[in-house]
Every structure is written in structure tokens, then in C-alpha cells.
Amino acid sequence: MTLGKASDSDGPRATKHSPEVTRENARRAYRIMLEARILEEKLAVLYRSGKIVGGVFLGRGQEALSVSLGIHLRRGDVYAPLIRDQAGRMAFGDTILDTMRTYLGSSLGSMRGRDGNIHRGRPSEGYHAMISHLGAMVSTVCGGLMAKRFRGETGAVGGTCIGEGGTSTGSFHEGMNLAGVEKLPIVVVVANNQFSYSTPNDRQFACNDLLVRAEGYGVRGRRAVGNDLMDCLSVIGEAVSAARSGEGPQLVVADLLRLVGHGEHDDASYIPAAMKESSLGGDCLDLARTTLLEKGWLTGEEAADWQKIVEKEVEETSSKVLREPSPDPSEEDWNAFSCLDSQQNSRYPEERQ
Amino acid sequence: MTLGKASDSDGPRATKHSPEVTRENARRAYRIMLEARILEEKLAVLYRSGKIVGGVFLGRGQEALSVSLGIHLRRGDVYAPLIRDQAGRMAFGDTILDTMRTYLGSSLGSMRGRDGNIHRGRPSEGYHAMISHLGAMVSTVCGGLMAKRFRGETGAVGGTCIGEGGTSTGSFHEGMNLAGVEKLPIVVVVANNQFSYSTPNDRQFACNDLLVRAEGYGVRGRRAVGNDLMDCLSVIGEAVSAARSGEGPQLVVADLLRLVGHGEHDDASYIPAAMKESSLGGDCLDLARTTLLEKGWLTGEEAADWQKIVEKEVEETSSKVLREPSPDPSEEDWNAFSCLDSQQNSRYPEERQ
Amino acid sequence: MSAITYLEAIRLAQQKALQDDPRVFIYGQDIGGFGGAFKATKNLAKEFPGRVLDSPISEDAMVGLAIGAAVEGMRPIIEMQFADFSTCGFNQIVNQAATLHYRTGTPCPLVVRLPSGGTPGGGPFHSQSMEAIYAHYPGLIVMTPATVEDAYTMLLEAVALDDPVIFCEHKFLYYHLKADKLPETVLPFGKAKIARQGRDATVVAYSAMVHEALAAAEELTHDGYDIEVVDLRTVRPIDTDTILASVARTGRLLVVGEAWPWGGVAAEVIARVATEGFGLLDAPPQRLNAKETPVPYHPALWGTHRPTASSVANSLRQLLEL
Amino acid sequence: MSAITYLEAIRLAQQKALQDDPRVFIYGQDIGGFGGAFKATKNLAKEFPGRVLDSPISEDAMVGLAIGAAVEGMRPIIEMQFADFSTCGFNQIVNQAATLHYRTGTPCPLVVRLPSGGTPGGGPFHSQSMEAIYAHYPGLIVMTPATVEDAYTMLLEAVALDDPVIFCEHKFLYYHLKADKLPETVLPFGKAKIARQGRDATVVAYSAMVHEALAAAEELTHDGYDIEVVDLRTVRPIDTDTILASVARTGRLLVVGEAWPWGGVAAEVIARVATEGFGLLDAPPQRLNAKETPVPYHPALWGTHRPTASSVANSLRQLLEL
Ligand SMILES: Cc1ncc(C[n+]2csc(CCOP(=O)(O)OP(=O)(O)O)c2C)c(N)n1
Ligand SMILES: Cc1ncc(C[n+]2csc(CCOP(=O)(O)OP(=O)(O)O)c2C)c(N)n1
Ligand SMILES: [Mg+2]
Ligand SMILES: [Mg+2]
């Protein structure tokens, strides 16, 4: 596996740790990363104890990259997170409560037990609920941005994430190409964690660097250091600003590792120890804390307090949701249509005759 | 529409009109181009007179590029031509007779009236019969090459063509990426004729040059001048040799124009006059004849003779095939399976019990 | 106005939708200045600048774009160049568009226009009838208009519905079918229509097959039979009530579909009548479909592959003797 | 050898195919060193170096590759990680693999393995049963084994057949179902099996639903009924003769499918029995399918969405009273 080499489209890196990463943003990002981490640890526990059925898919090690997209988006933007985006989701407004509810299939959750785990969102609020089929969300986000363009709304951005494995799908390609043709304000972040499930990059693509694909789509390419919060905030912040100010689609590629299995059923033993010990394997949460402490943007006490507060919130939310009732099949209308009632009769009045 | 700019992956162009283009190859290529052109003109006449039903899709203006792939392939190779590859097909061994039969739906043709026009081939001989869905043949050719690899056969090459519009399909992307991952000896020729049906390139892709995509697939990229036979023969010849000698996948991009509608029902009025008058619009057949005459590789008399001979063969074949019987529906077995008889009963013996 | 073709009705419906509803836009290959492979959007790009857009050859992304826009409240119409190419957008249609409302409560109002069905010389990849494939999926409405009037009103209805609609328009009807004027009233959504009244047997058909059925019915008047023809209009939902009422009158049922039999509309209709109207049947229900191969290219093969007035008439004669 | 699971039978069949036939190779995501998402290829990459290969996440290209290799005489097995993702390879399957033999006379022997069907918590995109979608297309064989023995023998048969085979293996049966040993004889290809003999009604089922049907039949013994269960084994072709013979004995028919009803296996079976065996029926044939929504995530919803022994028993009781 070759790690990315520097690319022409990456532009000058003088902006690294650029001043635009404010203390406030960095603190907020760290806090959200912490929430995502602690929440996901709890999800793993719930899975192991049989409370969550199906699977649990965590973003451990990818929180810095993930949060950096979510945090730069705002109300009115379109966001389609993927598997490892608990942090980005929370930055975009998702909550511990709704995450728990969705994983546990609560009928009070946004997915009402109909869909679960990472398949979560509130599309009417710009927060798309991913389908499993990788690559599919790129063009969906494009569609949201087209809608805004048709209505003459400017300044909105669309953001989506994908793993390096997802770039092999035809759907990803068609979406990227379309984004380029329509010059949409979309930011696509590729989290190159070196493996798609167990498959190493040399069985996934043959280029030295996925970033070279940006030019082929006519989009701007940028690189971020995937486990370095300050770099992710800076690079993705720039990408989002560029998109927002009309510079067209942006592709961000970041190398990193997931510090966990593909799902909680997977021990990730296929990841070589040497890779884990390389700089790729550094835990973004630890690194971010160290940086913030060094910069004096966070004190050790605050860090410890936050940890406790979040742990408490996660525990309390978990207990609460575990006591909530399961969805009741007999109350379901079992109807996939909005224009038909469950007997498949038209809801439309006959007086149109 | 920006025409391709020179690309890094294009390598030194000192090989232009390199000596490896032999007199014999150039003469053979020209002869085949002439056959394709005259045959296609006849197909257009048959279409206009109502003898060919459905559509006729011609490669006029693209013969030089097309023939250059077909002529460098040999028995044992895999070839999947596309819409505008009459010349390449004939170089690979297809005939005027089978083309006529297929267009006219003769039951004596290779497709037996079941499929028609450009959907023609003899897969068991390495000559794939394209499906309409653009992009689909790239991975199919990859599969043929994998088969040879599994069997330990070396030295075979796979070749396929596609229009620039076809590069927007997910299928193309997946096939190219897979070719890169498996390091297959495939040559993919993109005929960038500036339009996909009526759609200009600025609605099809946003990069300045499709050749930049080669690097993203980890394949070697080369450029050819699409209406210059000597350049096409040289560049594609090199690409095929490179693939044959184990250098992995090759992408050739050539700019040109189709000098005809998408199909014979289309007057191509969307192609701007200025573009037709630019160097892109030069007719490769005329250009090739001039070059051969200049080089002394062909005499004016020969050229005139060939023209007459081919015209005669085309006319005779057409008359012959027009007299051949249509397929008889009552003789069809109406069976899509090879393991079932038409009553959908198993052909497999019961003694396996 | 001179005679309006089925194709022109589709163009006019899109024109009206664009006119009446700013949320409507059309996205598809070659539909802009060129007006589409069949000219179903002729002049619309000029009349509605920026709202009728040429797409790249990317069926998956075309549908994905429509979904994202629908979520934001638009009413996209996607033109597939041929129904057969919708297989490349299949995943977005069946897994994203069809599931969105159920999963999230957000409606997904979009229309995918599928130029469908066989024409002479069309061959295996420009002739397919895919209604059964889409109708299998809960969440998709599937329309199959058989007349100029329905092509017009149902397409407008498709745009107005809050669900994704697969609009199967038949290429063979594009130029063949003409009407004097556009209708002013519409049948309620989801209702089948008695295209011809009769008492001896019911033929259920849809799309181009309605006309083969009507011609067969006409032919059978010479044998002294009076055949009822039901035009389904939409195949999801299926108007089972109208079918059962007809079978109650005639006692005999033949279902005709241009698609392949396995799991097709005809199978579904027969399953419904057999389960819900068993007692109404005086004879075994029958179906007539395309032959079980890809759609052949040669017109002589094609003419045998699909049901025609004469094969429908034959099936009817057999049914009437059962 | 200790008890063999349905999953292990699939692994062993692939091992035997690789062993016996140098033309066989396996291509799919994570099937190499990792042994597949469900471990259906565990250790095979090591045992057969270079013949069990990890693919990129490219379902379209995976199938395309298999087609090209099949044309050259290989016998590829493609593992889809879940049946649901085969939608992304749909076009190659239905338009290239299914049509190749008819169009060109060249056979296209490949197997696409689809880990199918619902499991608790699977949700809308990891639970689908797609047999009806593929069975609609002439040119595709569709197998739906319900037992450990069939999983083994039918997969070997799938590899041996000259046509493309869609092999729907049920994830819920992977670990639940066990057998003591592998079978030495095989039922002829395309034959259904009487899984349980009875005289009061016939339940036709396939895949996981065979076991729900058997459990329901058992339950109905307490009511004094004797139910026959037919396991279809392949849904394309369907062994209509065996079904008709069973209905001739029992006079009553219930068809159970885990997929959605519209155009599903149940619709097709009922259409066949209604058209070809109308006179054998003492009561209207009935079907029981999944509810008409995407497959829900929560186990309680999922348990109601799919037919179960108890809903099959209910349907049977109703049928027996008709
Ligand atoms: C089209 C499609 N094929 C297969 C899968 C099954 N699948 C789920 S996640 C995954 C690996 C994804 O790898 P990558 O994109 O690198 O993301 P990562 O898991 O590394 O974050 C696969 C193969 C899928 N979801 N979609
Ligand atoms: C997947 C798919 N979508 C749509 C079509 C319809 N179609 C046939 S040819 C064509 C244009 C192709 O353009 P290009 O690839 O540039 O080739 P050219 O015709 O210019 O040679 C289109 C859209 C198709 N064949 N396949
Ligand atoms: Mg990855
Ligand atoms: Mg072109």
C-alpha cells in the first residue's frame, strides 16, 4: 500500500494550522469528538450485551476528519454522512438521544425502528439518511444543491463523506462527474483508512493517490492529515468556504486508520501492526487533546470534566432509551406510499372526475 | 468545449509517425477503412429505403482510430468494439457479409436475426457482441483476460472502444478501476468526438482533458490524433505492444468528430460549423489517402481500383443478402437457456438421482 | 389544434407541468436543445430556460439527483433515453427513491419516464417493458398509459403525486395513436377503465396491449362474441375491484402483457382474481405474454415474440371453449 | 465430521468445485484472506492460491468480469456481500449475462451468490429477497435452497450448469440449519421436493419459508390437519408438475414467500395453478408474503413483516375453512 504522495492539485500547504482555526471551533470540535467516542463505546457495549441487534459500525479514529465536515456546515446546508460519521453527525445537530433511539430501534427515534444504526437522518432538514449502497449519496446531495439553485438560493453547501473503498463504485464516479458538470457547491471527503472492510488498498485501486482523481472530475482537490484535528478543520474549512463562495466542487482526501473493526463483530486483525504503529495509527482524539492543551485552549481539568459530563449523559440517555417501548407492529400502517392508504387505495378525492 | 491539452501521462511524442508503422500495415488499414466507409454508405441507403429497420449507426470519420485498434489485435485476443467500430471490426476479422446479414436480420448471420446492427460479435472467438448499455464491455473484456491469466496464457491483449460520453457511466469507471487493480493487458480507446448524441462535452464532463483520468486508474495514458491514421496506428500500436509485453492497462484518448449523425435518423445539426471546419473535422479517409499517396505507399490507380472493387463487393453482398430468407418465427425454439429445453424442462438426465 | 399524438401529449403535459409548477424540472440525456431522442421535450428548453437540462450518461446519478431535489421539495422528471437503460439507475430507484418515505417520513415526489416496449428493429436493448420489475417494490407507483388522453392526464398526475412514479410510456404508441383534443376530466388515480364493454370474456391489458386486445375483441365479434376489455392504466396500484367486477359479469379472464410472463402483471392479476374472485370464474383464467427470450431484432421474430391482435384472438377463442 | 451448517455446506461446495474443476474461481469483496463477510470462503484463498480473489467495491464490474471469463470457458462464482447490493450489478446480470446465450449462441456459465433474506436487525438494505426480480428474466436460473443438503448439491449444480445462475442462499439459515452429513445423491435439477406429505392442503414454499411452513404444518396437526409442504428448490424453472400433483391430492393451495407479493414467486405459482390446474382446486388459492414496505430494522417489526410459522398457520386455517 502506497500512502498518498503530494499532488499538484493540493496547492500550497502554507495554510496548515492556519489561524482560521479558532479556539472556539477547535474546542467545540474536540468536545463533539469526545461525545462521539464515548457514545460509540457505549453502543459497542450495548451490542455485546445483545441489546443492539444487527450490527454496530463505529468511527473510532476518524472523529477528527468527520467532525471537521459537520462543523463547517450550517442550517440550510445539505449533509449526507456515511458509516463512520458519528462526530460529523453530531456537529450537524444530531443528538446522543436520537442515535441511541435509532440503534435501539425505538419508535420515538427519527427512523421509528424502521431503519437503524447508521441509516439515520432527517432529510427534510437537510440531513440525509444514507442508504447502504456506497456511492449513492453523492448524487443525492447534488440534487439537494440543484434544488437550491433552481430556487435561486445561494450560499448553501453540500457535504458528504465516503471511504476509499466507496470510490470504486460507479455511483461515486457518476456523482462526482455530475457535480463537476453542474459546478455544484459540494464538498466530498474521502476517508482513506487503507481498508474497505478487510480489503487493502492495493486490491481497491491502482493509483498512487486518490487525490489525482479530482482533476479528472474537474473539481478542486485538497489533502488533509486525517487524524490531525487542526489540519482537518483547516483544510475542510477552506474547502467548505471555497464551495460556499462559488468555487465549485471540492474533493478532500485524508489518510488515516480506523482504530476498530469494520463493525463490532470484526477484530480488524487484517490491519498490520506496523501500520497501526505508524503515524497513521495515532488516535486523533488523544492528538487533539494534546494539541489543545499545548495551545492552552483547553485545561486538563476541563478535559476531565467534559469526559465525566459526557459519560454521564450517555449513560443516562442509554438507560432512558432502554426503558422506552419497542415499536408495536400492530400499530404500524405497513404502507410505503404517501399517496395511498394501506389498502393501496388512492387518497385522492374522486371529485376530480 | 476545451479540446485536450497535453498531459503528463502522454509521454514524449517523438514516436509520432514512427517507422514502426509499416507500409503494409498502413495499406491494409487504409483498405479496411475504405471497406468500412463504402459498406456503411450502403447501409445508410438500405436504411433510407426501408430495408433496414430500427436504426443505422455509422462510424464515418472515426475509421482511422477504429481500424488502428482492430488491426493490432490478433487471434486469441479479446475485442469488444462499440458503436462506431465498423473499421476495427473488419480489421479483427468481421466481414461485409456478416455485417449485412446482421443489419438485415438474416438468420444466416452471426446474430441470426435475434440481435442486429452494431450488436454483433462471435464471443466464442474473442469478438464480443456489445450490449447497448455503455461502459459495460470494459469489465467484460477484463474477464476474458482474467480467464487467460488463470489458464496461464500470456501475450493476449484485450481491446475496447468507447465514446467520451460513455466515460460518464459508472460501469466504465468500475471496469477501468478493476483493470488497474488486476493489471490486465487491456487497451481502452476513448473516441472523444465532442458529442454524445447531441450533448456537447461541457455537459458531459468538467475536466479539460479526459486523459488525466488515466492516472486515477493507475493506467498508462496516451493521446492520438483521432483522424490521423499514421498517428493512430503508431500510438495504438505502441499501446497494444505495451499491454502485450506486460506493462498493464493502457488508455488512449483521441479527439475527432463523427462526420455523420448519431444514427442515420439524425442530421447532427448541433455540431457547430466552426468545429466541422477545424482540424477535428478533417476526413480521416481523405487524409490517409493523401498521406499514403505522398509517401508513395499507394498509387492513385490502386486507390481507384480498390474503390471499385469494394463497391462491387458491397453491392453484390447486399443483393445476395437481400435475397436470403428472413428468419422463420415458427422455426425458432424461443428458448433463452442452454440447460433447459423450450418447455423449461431440464436437459439434464435423471440418472444422477 | 390538429390531431395530437401520444408523444405530443407527453410533451404537452411536461409543458403544462413546467408552466404551472415552478418546482418542476426535467433532467435527461439530450433533452435540452435537441428535444430528446424521441422529441418528447421539443422546444421546452427554449421555453423554460435552465429547467430542461442535458445530463451526462449517468443514469444512477440522474436518479440520485432527482431524489435529492425531491427531498428539497422539487418535482423532478427524469427522462431515461430508453426504459432499458433504467437498469443503470435501478439501485437509486428501488433502494433510495422507493424506501425514502417509509424510512424517513419525507416524501420523494419524482417521475422517471421510461420510453418502453417494442418497435420493429428495436432489439433486445431498446424494447423492454420493465413495469413488473418496478411494481414489485413497495413505494413505487407504476403507470402504463394506453391512450393519448391518459398519457397527458396521467403524466400530470404523476408529477402531482407525492410518491416516486415510474411512467411507462409506450414507444410504439408515440406516433401511431392520435386524439383530436386533450381531455378536460380525468379518471381518479389508480382506477382502471372499461375500454370496451362485453359479456362473454374479460381481457385485462395495459399500454400497447390494450389496442391489440381491442382489435382482437373486434375480430371476435365475427365469431359472435362480445369481449370486455379492461385497461389497467396503472399497474401499481392495480384496481382489483374493477377487474373483479368485470369478471363477475363475464366469468372468463384473459390477461395480456407485452413483458415476460414470470412474475409479470398478468401473473399478478391472475393471482388476485384467483385468490379474491375464484367463485366468479367459469373457466381457468389465462394469460398471454411475450415469449421467453430477449426481444428479438428482426421484425418477423418480434411480431411473434409479442402478443398481437391475432394471438390475443386465438387465446380468447381457446378461453371461450374452456 | 460434526454437524454441518448450511453456511459450511456452501463453503464445502465451493471447495469441491475449486478442487474438481480448474475453470472455477471466486471473485467478491473480502472473500480472500478474510474469508468473506459470512465466512463462506474461509480458508479457500489459502487452499487455492490465486483463485479466490478480493474484488473492489464494484458490483457491475464484478459481474462483467464473470461474464467475460465465462465466455472464455471459465466457471466464475461471484459473491455479492449481500443480495441487496446486487442491484448495483443488476444491469450486467439481466442485460448481458441473461441475454448472451440467446443472442450469440455462446453460453454464459456463471454463478452469482446472493446472501439473501431477513435477519433480526438487518434492516431495509441487508435483508432483501430478490429472486422474483431475477426470475422475471428469461436466461437466468434462480435457485433458492432450503436445506443444508440442497445448499451443497445445488451450488455444485449451479457451477456445472451452462447458464447464469442466481443462487439465493438464505442468511437466516446460515447457522440455524444443521445436517449430519453431506448428501450422496441429488434430486434432478429443476425438481421440487415434497418436504412433508399431507392430504388436506398444499403449502408451496422455498428457502427459509419452507421451515416456517413445516412448523405451521406441525402446529396444524393439533387441529387434526395433515398439511403437505412443497419445497420449490428452484424458482426458475418452477416445477409446475410437482405442484399440480400435490394440489391434485389436497385440493387446496397456499403459497408462501418472504419477498413482496407483487409479481413474486407466490403470484407466479398461483397464476400457474389457476391457469393449468383450475379444476384441481377445491378453494381459492391463497398467498402469504412479506408486508408491503421495506424490510424494517427493529426485530419486532421484522418478525411481523415476514411470514412466520404462526402467520402461515393462520393462513392455513383460513384456507381450510374456505
Ligand atoms: C455497493 C455496495 N457494495 C458493498 C457494500 C458492503 N460494504 C459495506 S461497508 C464496505 C466497506 C467500505 O469500505 P470503505 O468505503 O473504505 O469505508 P470504511 O468502511 O473503510 O470506512 C462494504 C464492502 C456496500 N455497502 N455497498
Ligand atoms: C447506459 C446508457 N445510457 C444511455 C444510452 C443511450 N445512448 C446510446 S449512444 C449514446 C451517446 C453516446 O455518446 P458517446 O459515448 O460519446 O459515443 P458516440 O455516439 O459519440 O460515438 C447514448 C446516450 C446507452 N446506450 N447506454
Ligand atoms: Mg476504508
Ligand atoms: Mg461522443
CA distance B43 to B100: 8
Residues of A in contact with C91 (CB under 8 A): 133, 136, 171
Are A154 and A245 within 8 A, CB to CB? no
d(CA C48, CA C10): 16
Could you identify the residue written with the cell 439434464? B348
Nearest to D104 by CA among C197, A190, B109: B109
* Confidence grade of residue B71 (pLDDT, cut at 50, 70, 90): very high
**pLDDT per position as a tens digit, B36-56:** 999 999 999 999 999 999 999
Q: Which SS3 state, helix, strand or coil, does residue D215 take?
A: helix
**Helices B300-323, B23-48: inter-axial angle, 10-degree rounding:** 40
Comparing CA positions, the residue from A194, A193, A241, A201 lying closest to residue A220 is: A241
Q: Kindly list the protein residues whose Cβ atom lies closer than 6 A to any atom of ligand 1.
A: A 83-84, 132-134, 163-166, 169, 191, 193, 195-197, 262; D 29, 57, 59, 81, 85, 88
- What are residue C141's DSSP bridge partners? C165
Of B103, B82, B107, B101, which Cα lies nearest the Cα of B92?
A: B82
The pLDDT assigned to D38 comes to 98
Q: What is the pLDDT of residue C63?
A: 99
pLDDT of residue B347: 63
Contact present, C100 and C56 (Cβ < 8 Å): no
Beta strands in B18-99 (DSSP E): 78-80
Contacts with D317 (C-beta within 8 Å, 6 or more apart), sequence order = D220, D223
Hey, how many other C-beta atoms are within 10 angstroms of the C-beta on C142?
A: 28
Q: Residue B4: its pLDDT value, please? A: 36
Tally of helices (H runs) and strands (E runs) in chain B: 11, 7
Domain ranges of chain D: 4-179, 193-321
pLDDT of residue A3: 35
Query: Could you tell me what percentage of chain A is helix, strand and coil, using 3-state DSSP and rounding each to the nearest 5?
Result: 45, 10, 45
- CATH assignment of D4-179, among 3.40.50.970, 1.10.260.40, 3.40.50.2300, 3.40.50.720: 3.40.50.970
Give the separation between CA C258 and CA C287, rounded to whole angstroms: 11
CA distance B10 to chain A (A): 15
Rounded distance between C-alpha atoms, residue D43 and residue A41, angstroms:
32
Chain B: partners with 3+ C-beta pairs within 8 Å: A, C, D
The grid coordinates listed for B116 are 442486429
Contact at 8 Å (CB) between B201 and B164? yes
pLDDT of residue A225: 98
Q: How far apart are CA B36 and CA D311, in angstroms?
A: 66
Q: Looking at the predicted structure, is the pLDDT value of residue D2 above 80?
A: no
pLDDT of residue B350: 42
Question: Which one of D38, D42, D55, D57 would you mutate to disrupt binding with A, by most A Cβ within 10 Å of its Cβ?
Answer: D57
Contacts of A344 in chain C (CB under 8 A): 190, 237
Q: B60-79 as b/e, with b when 16 or more CB fall inside 10 Å?
A: bbbbbbbbbbbbbbeeebbb
Q: What is the pLDDT of residue D314?
A: 98
Backbone angles phi, psi at A6, to 5 degrees: -60, 145
Distance from CA of A174 to the nearest CA of C (A): 5
Model confidence pLDDT, tens digit, residues C71-97: 999 999 999 999 999 999 999 999 999
Q: End-to-end CA distance of chain C: give it in Å, rounded.
A: 48
Instruction: State residue A247's pLDDT score.
Output: 98
Q: Which residues sit with their C-beta closer than 6 Å to ligand 2?
A: B 83-84, 132-134, 163-166, 169, 191, 193, 195-197, 262; C 29, 57, 59, 81, 85, 88
**Cell 383534443 -> residue:** C181
pLDDT band at D185 (very low <50, low <70, confident <90, very high): confident
* Residue (of A172, B165, B37) closest to C29 by Cα position: B165
Interchain contact A166–D (C-beta under 8 A) = yes
Per residue in C172-206, pLDDT tens?
999 999 999 999 888 999 999 999 999 999 999 99
What is the number of other CB atoms lying within 10 angstroms of the CB of residue D260? 24
Q: How does A68-97 read in b/e, with b if 16+ C-beta sit within 10 Å?
A: bbbbbbeeebbbbbbbbbbbbbbbbbbebb
Which residues have CB less than 5 Å away from ligand 3 (the ion)?
A 163-165, 193, 196
Indicate the helix (H) or strand (E) that contains C287: strand C286-288
Q: For chain D, how big is the Rg over CA atoms in Å?
A: 19
Q: Rounded to whole angstroms, what are the CA distances from B215 to A19, A212, B27, D257, D274?
A: 34, 7, 34, 48, 59
Report CA-CA distances (Å) from A158 to A79, A289, B31. 6, 29, 54
pLDDT exceeds 60 at position C25: yes
Amino acid at B288: A
C4 vs chain D: nearest CA distance in angstroms?
34
Cβ of residue D190 closer than 8 Å to a chain B Cβ: yes
d(CA A213, CA A211): 5
pLDDT for the residue numbered A139: 99
pLDDT at A311: 98
Chain D stretch 93-112, residues whose beta carbon is closer than 8 A to a beta carbon of chain C = 94-95, 98-99, 102-103
The predicted model gives A190-203 an average pLDDT of 98
Pocket test for ligand 1, best of A134, A169, A201, A204 (most atoms within 8 A of CB): A134
Amino acid at B34: L
Task: Report yes or no: C19 at the B interface, CB cutoff 8 Å.
Answer: no
| Cβ contact A158:A141 at 8 Å | yes
A158-179 pLDDT, tens digit per residue, is 999 999 999 999 999 999 999 9
Q: What is the pLDDT of residue D1?
A: 52
Please identify every residue whose CB atom is under 5 Å from ligand 4, which is an ion: B 163-165, 193, 196
Give per-residue pLDDT as tens, C262-278. 999 999 999 999 999 99
The grid coordinates of residue A251 equal 474533493
Please write the tens of the pLDDT for every residue from B8-29. 444 443 344 455 899 999 999 9
Contacts of A210 in chain D (CB under 8 A): none
Give me C204's grid cell. 385485462
Query: What's the whole-number average pLDDT of chain A?
Result: 93
Report residue A342 as a C-alpha cell: 394501506
Q: How many CB atoms lie within 10 A of CB A277?
A: 10
Assess B340–D contact: CB distance below 8 Å, yes or no: yes
Residue ranges of C 232-271 with Cβ closer than 8 A to chain D: 236, 259-268, 270-271
Identify whether D305 is a catalytic site residue.
no
pTM for the model: 0.97
Grid cell 399478478 is found at C268
- For residues D152 and D131, what is the distance between their CA atoms, to the nearest angstrom? 19
> Three cell numbers at D99?
441475454
Contact B146 D107 (CB under 8 A): no
Phi, psi of B236 (to 5 degrees): -70, -35
Alpha-carbon distance A254 to A231, whole Å? 10
Amino acid (1-letter code) at residue D212: E
Condensed to tens digits (0 to 9), the pLDDT of residues C117-156 reads 999 999 999 999 999 999 999 999 999 999 999 999 999 9
Asked if B183 lies within 8 A of A206 by C-beta distance, the reply is: yes
- DSSP state, residue D21: -
In angstroms, rounded to a whole number, what is the distance separating the alpha carbons of residues B227 and A128?
47
Overall average pLDDT of the A197-201 stretch: 98
Distance in Å from the first CA to the final CA of chain B: 66
Question: Which CATH code for domain B23-326+336-345?
Answer: 3.40.50.970
Q: Scanning the structure block, which residue is given the C-alpha cell 486523533? A: A284
Using the beta-carbon criterion (under 8 Å), do A168 and D54 form an inter-chain contact?
no
> With b meaning 16 or more CB within 10 Å and e meaning fewer, what string describes D112-130?
bbbbbbbbbbbbbbbbbbb
State the nearest Cα–Cα gap between A346 and chain D, in angstroms. 16
CA-based radius of gyration for chain B: 21
* Domain D4-179 matches domain D193-321 at the CATH topology level: yes
Q: Does the D193-321 domain belong in CATH 3.60.15.10? A: no
Helix (H) or strand (E) holding B26: helix B23-48
Q: Is the pLDDT of residue B152 over 60?
A: yes
Query: Quick one: which ligand is closest to C82's CA?
Result: 2
Using alpha carbons, select from D209, D200, D197, D111 the residue that is nearest to residue D162: D111
Rounded Cα–Cα distance for residues A143 and C98 (Å): 16
Domain ranges of chain B: 23-326+336-345
**Closest residue to A206, CB basis, from B168, B204, B217:** B217
Please tell me which chains touch A, using 3 or more CB pairs under 8 Å as the contact test.
B, C, D
399497474: which residue's cell? C235
Round to the nearest angstrom and report the end-to-end CA distance of chain D: 48
Q: What pLDDT shows up at residue A344?
A: 73
> Are the CB atoms for C57 and C85 separated by under 8 Å?
no
Beta bridge partners of B340: B346
First and final C-alpha spacing in chain A = 66
Residue B167 alpha carbon, nearest atom of ligand 2:
15
Neighbours of A15 (CB within 10 A): 16
Residue D72 is which amino acid?
E
- In the prediction, which pLDDT does D102 show? 98
Give me the count of residues in chain D: 322
pLDDT tens sequence across D278-316: 999 999 999 999 999 999 999 999 999 999 999 999 999
- Give per-residue burial for A177-207: e unless 16+ CB within 10 Å, then b: bbbbbbbbbbbbbbbbbbbbbbbbbebbbbb
Q: Cis before residue C237, ω within 30 degrees of 0?
A: yes
Mean pLDDT of chain B: 93
| C13 touches C45 (CB < 8 A) | no
What's the rounded Cα separation, in Å, for the pair B210 and B192? 9
User: What are the pLDDT digits (tens) for B101-142?
Assistant: 999 999 999 999 999 999 999 999 999 999 999 999 999 999
